[in-house]
Chains A and B, each alone.
Chain A
Amino acid sequence: MKHLLLIITFFLSGLSALQAQERDNDPAKKEQKIQALYIAYMSRELKLTEVEAQKFWPVHSQFDSEIRSVRGEEELKKQQEVLNIKKRYQDRFIRILGNDRANDFYRKDAEFRKKLVERLKNMRQQNSGNKRMQMNRN
């Protein structure tokens, strides 16, 4: 009986450790930070009011979900499908944001990604520089 309890204890502690690790490596958790950054950036750039934000983000969430679900081997087909989704949502964005800001939305969305890419580039260049320095020292 004692052995059995010991085994169960080990198993549960291992499981909790695994779950803790899962939480740390949780992709959803990781993405939350970038999502928050995205909302903050778009809200600031599109100058969303509270009322507009309440209408815009639920629609955007649906839009985002559809865009992400686009999968396939052929790049052109994928791009065509993405374009179709954007066209479908265009009217709804215009109704919430107006013509100008609805057009701005795609531009600002691209800018945000560009900032992420810039950040990634800087990190890699920094890592690469550090590695080279280490190699030179060695």
Chain B
Amino acid sequence: MFNNKDILKELQDISPALIPLQQLNVFTVPENYFTNFSEIVLLEMIAETPAFLSSEVTNTMEVPAGYFDSLADTILAKIKITHIQSTAEELKELSPALSATGNDNVFTVPSRYFEDLSEIILGQVKPVAKIVEMRSHSSFMRYAVAAVITGIMGLSLFSVLDKKNVETIENTPLTASIINDANKILQTNSFDKVLETVSEDEIIGYLQKNGQDVNAALVAASVDVNELPSADDYIINEDALNDFLKELNIKDYSN
């Protein structure tokens, strides 16, 4: 292996110190090295051992005679004394009230305590609100009420609408109140005064009911026939009549 030049060269590069050692057994010991080896080691160990180890070894695991005979009793006696004392003291520190009770039974109540308890509590508690009982309505009653209300509404509307329709068709009948009013007008000779209180709508309504063309009547009442637009005027201007009415101030401008 060492003869390989490449290996030698590589070894020289890596570790030149190993070159002189080639083919030399480095794992050799002097003669009789292991013969007294243990003694030599022991001697050197003793030489390096601390003083307390180097002294004579004594048996430290010894106990007094009869030690284990009374050990359990001794431990239990000590535990008992320590435990009782500490609990009482601890309880006294934590809760003097509980400590004061001692061994008394505190869970006692006066006789008949629970029998009257609910009444006593209810007597002390004030009522929050008045309790109103819900009356259960039968569905028949509900439908009946709904039917009555609908009927009232329907009849009311019908009466109003029907009345309106009838009035537009029928004429005003000659009633006693009309005749009385007429008598008053005659007696007080207040025809013109009452006429002044009649509104435009009332007059138009009355005239139209009597088949009168209100606009034509107004024109007729307002003008001399000779002043009306001539036939030629209508040919020239188809709004001739409207213009003429405007001039007369009788056309209803409110419309």
Contact = CB atoms under 8 A, between A and B. Distances in A.
A125 B171 contact: no
Nearest to B168: A27
Nearest to A125: B249
Interface in B197-211: 197-207, 209-211
B253 interface: yes
A83 interface: no
A40 B198 contact: no
Contact of B174 (A18, A22, A57, A124): A57
B205 A43 contact: no
Main secondary structure of the interface of B (DSSP, over half): helix
Contact of A28 (B153, B167, B211): B167
Given A33-B197, A36-B182, A120 B254 contact: no
Contact of A31 (B205, B214, B220, B250): B205
A127 interface: yes
Contact of A117 (B186, B198, B207): B207
A67 B211 contact: yes
A32 B250 contact: no
Interface stretch (B45-53, B107-115, B156-164): B156-164
A33 B194 contact: yes
Contacts of A115: 195
Interface residues of B, number: 56
Given A39-B178, A128-B253, A65 B160 contact: no
A27 B198 contact: no
A105 B239 CA distance: 38
Contacts of B195: 37, 115-116, 119
Nearest to B181: A36
A44 B203 CA distance: 21
Contacts of A4: 145, 149
Main secondary structure of the interface of A (DSSP, over half): helix
Interface residues of A, number: 51
B178 A124 contact: no
Contact of A27 (B167, B175, B207): B167
B181 A120 contact: no
Contacts of A31: 172, 202, 205-206, 209
B237 interface: no
Which of A36, A43, A68, A123 has the most chain B CB atoms inside 10 A of its CB? A36
Nearest to A48: B186
Contacts of B24: none
B182 A116 contact: no
Interface in B141-180: 145, 149, 153, 156-157, 160, 163-164, 167-168, 171-175, 177-179
Interface string A99-138: 0000000000000011111111101110111010000000
A120 B171 contact: no
B99 interface: no
Interface of A: 4, 8, 11-12, 15, 18-19, 22, 26-28, 30-41, 43-44, 57-58, 61, 64-65, 67-68, 70, 78, 82, 113-121, 123-125, 127-129, 131
**Which A-B residue pairs are the 10 nearest by beta carbons?**
A36-B181, A39-B182, A40-B185, A128-B249, A40-B182, A36-B182, A125-B249, A117-B217, A30-B202, A117-B221
